[in-house]
Amino acid sequence: MTPPTSPDDLKGAARKLIREAALVDGAWISAGDGAIAVEDPSEQTILGHVPSLTADQVDEAIAAAADAFPEWSRRKARERGEFLTRWAALITANEQALGALISLENGKPFAEAVGEVRYANAFITWFAGIAEHLDGRAIDSGNAQDLILAFREPVGPVAAITPWNFPAAMMTRKAAAAFCAGCTLVLKPASATPFTALALAALALEAGLPPGCFSVVSGAQSVVGARLTGSAAIRKLSFTGSTEVGRLLAGQCAPTLKRLSMELGGAAPLLVLDDADLELAVAGTVAGKFRGAGQTCVCPNRIYVHESIHDAFLERLTERVAALKVGKPFEPGVEIGPLIDAKAVEKVETHVAKALADGGRVLTGGARHDLGGRFFQPTVIAGADDALFTCEETFGPVCPVFSFRDDDEAVARANASEFGLAAFVFSESLNRAMRVGRAIDAGIVGVNTGLVSNPANPFGGVKQSGYGREGSAYGIDDYLQVKSLTLALR
Ligand code: SIN
């Protein structure tokens, strides 16, 4: 099959993947009354609807996950791995159409969206590769009679709540780990971008996943979230989203003592030490900051540059940022798409206004883009106060730059935040980069790079950025529990 190439063909291929439905126990439940409209953020037109499920329908999905769990968890690990491999192959075969679907519902440029599909798929192949290696241990009991065996078993049916900024990758990062471990899954995608998750779920069924193992439930957080968190059958919740919502969900999960993985907000610092390679630091800042139009949890939110190179860095950064191409996702060469919704644009505007009120000056951008709607100009601000950017993530294409005098000050300012997801350090001295990188309170530190997203990298934060790790060899641990058997030898 020749992959579609023109924007119209790509959009057509994406639309064919749209299912205006939820998936409950292998059945597609159509969007009816009170359905949720899904918008194309670049055109502000309605792409379609998904149902707002009732509490009973969510309970059906949970019951299906509980019923399917014994059989799926007892399958040979090799078979679960083979399913993941088949799923990944189907995703690859549909890569362009899935990329186009992400562009339609999320607005990210098509090339970046295809990159997300590959990133998403890499989690599936990663976990396919470790399915057969979930070993336990034989433990010396310390006495002559007993031998202790520790097994790692799946935690049970799992719920996942995923965000709109990576409609594919945040879903597969959780789903692939769950299926690899032998868990079943009920997933609530973000209401803004449910179609990608539904399309991926359809491919999972086509790849041979038994129906009850995977339900995708759409609807109001107050209904769907409450059923998932309140159910005793669901043994774990994995959530990616804001710290505020994470706290709420953790509270709702407390009565049933669920296992939790919380990948929450960040306000990532990026430090450019005085011996940094300036070009590399500028390129890393642009790559990290403007990915997804600044709408990722690991985007640098505040850039600290040593005072001796601050002006030179700023000049080069401003040049690069001013040249970024803003536009609709299917236009060739576009690097920055629209923000997800009107509230996101307002937040970015507020951050710029506060930075200016705090003494900052705009070096490029600073306002809504001429394209109107959800488009905002890529922005560089210097001379503002860093307090706002330390305590609140902008989630938009704004790059505030500050200067510092020495490494200790840079580390102190990096750590003066309640968040601790990602951080970045640029230095040509490995010793300094290691020392500074280790002193920063963050779960993920990039050295001489602005991009840390890789299925092999343990992804997760500290402090108010949450807990648990996703992807990597550690990512499976959150889906497994240890069970021991003591053998009394006679
Ligand atoms: C996120 O923004 O939550 C995830 C970013 C990533 O995986 O790169």
Give the pLDDT band (50/70/90) at residue 32: confident
Q: What's residue 170's pLDDT?
A: 98
User: Using an 8 Å Cβ cutoff, are 24 and 54 in contact?
Assistant: no
Question: Is the CB–ligand 1 distance for residue 364 below 6 Å?
Answer: no
User: Per-residue pLDDT averaged across 64-69, rounded?
Assistant: 98
Distance 297 CA to ligand 1 centre (A): 5
Q: Is the pLDDT of residue 383 over 70?
A: yes
Give the pLDDT band (50/70/90) at residue 5: confident
Q: Which tokens go with 330?
A: 């299917």
Q: Is the pLDDT of residue 369 over 60?
A: yes
Q: Is the pLDDT of residue 3 over 70?
A: no
CA distance 155 to 323: 49
Q: Is the pLDDT of residue 97 over 80?
A: yes
Q: What percent of the chain has pLDDT over 70?
A: 99
Q: Is the pLDDT of residue 62 over 60?
A: yes
User: Using an 8 Å Cβ cutoff, are 57 and 228 in contact?
Assistant: no
CA separation, residue 336 to residues 285, 313, 328, 399 (Å): 15, 22, 8, 14
Q: What's residue 298's pLDDT?
A: 98
Question: Is the CB–ligand 1 distance for residue 377 below 6 Å?
Answer: no
Q: What's residue 2's pLDDT?
A: 60
Give the pLDDT band (50/70/90) at residue 414: very high
Distance 489 CA to ligand 1 centre (A): 49
CA distance 466 to 114: 28
Model pLDDT for residues 451-462, shown as the tens digit of each residue: 999 999 999 999
User: Per-residue pLDDT averaged across 347-365, rounded?
Assistant: 97
Give the pLDDT band (50/70/90) at residue 68: very high
Q: Is the pLDDT of residue 169 over 90?
A: yes
Q: Is the pLDDT of residue 1 over 60?
A: no
Model pLDDT for residues 124-154, shown as the tens digit of each residue: 999 999 999 999 999 999 999 999 999 999 9
CA distance 28 to 406: 59
Considering the chain, what is the average pLDDT of its residues?
A: 97
Task: Look at residues 135, 129, 187 and name the one whose alpha carbon lies nearest to residue 158.
Answer: 187
CA distance 177 to 180: 5
Give the 3-state secondary structure of the chain: CCCCCCHHHHHHHHHHHCCCEEEECCEEEECCCCCEEEEECCCCEEEEEECCCCHHHHHHHHHHHHHHHHHHHHCCHHHHHHHHHHHHHHHHHCHHHHHHHHHHHHCCCHHHHHHHHHHHHHHHHHHHHHHHHCCCEEEECCCCCEEEEEEEEECCCEEEECCCCCCCHHHHHHHHHHHHHCCCEEEECCCCCHHHHHHHHHHHHHCCCCHHHEEECCCCHHHHHHHHHHCCCCCEEEEECCHHHHHHHHHHHHHHCCEEEEECCCCEEEEECCCCCHHHHHHHHHHHHCHHHHCCCCCEEEEEEECCCHHHHHHHHHHHHHCCCECCCCCCCCCECCCCCHHHHHHHHHHHHHHHHCCCEEEECCCECCCCCCCECCEEEECCCCHHHHHCCCCCCEEEEEEECCHHHHHHHHHCCCEECEEEEECCCHHHHHHHHHHCCCCEEEECCCCCCCCCCCECCEECCEECCECCCCCCHHHEEEEEEEEECC
CA distance 293 to 338: 7
CA separation, residue 109 to residues 104, 200, 294, 350, 450 (Å): 9, 20, 13, 25, 19
Q: Is the pLDDT of residue 230 over 70?
A: yes
Q: What's residue 374's pLDDT?
A: 98
Name the amino acid, one letter, at 192: A
Question: Is the CB–ligand 1 distance for residue 165 below 6 Å?
Answer: yes
Q: Is the pLDDT of residue 158 over 90?
A: yes
Q: Which atom of ligand 1 is nearest to the CA of 173?
A: 7
* Nearest residue by C-alpha to atom 6 in ligand 1: 453
User: Per-residue pLDDT averaged across 166-172, rounded?
Assistant: 98
Distance 2 CA to ligand 1 centre (A): 31
Q: What's residue 426's pLDDT?
A: 98
Model pLDDT for residues 461-489, shown as the tens digit of each residue: 999 999 999 999 999 999 999 999 999 98
Q: Is the pLDDT of residue 38 over 60?
A: yes
Model pLDDT for residues 258-317, shown as the tens digit of each residue: 999 999 999 999 999 999 999 999 999 999 999 999 999 999 999 999 999 999 999 999
Q: What percent of the chain has pLDDT over 90?
A: 98
Distance 361 CA to ligand 1 centre (A): 29
Q: What's residue 4's pLDDT?
A: 67
Global pTM?
0.97
Q: Residue 263 catalytic?
A: yes
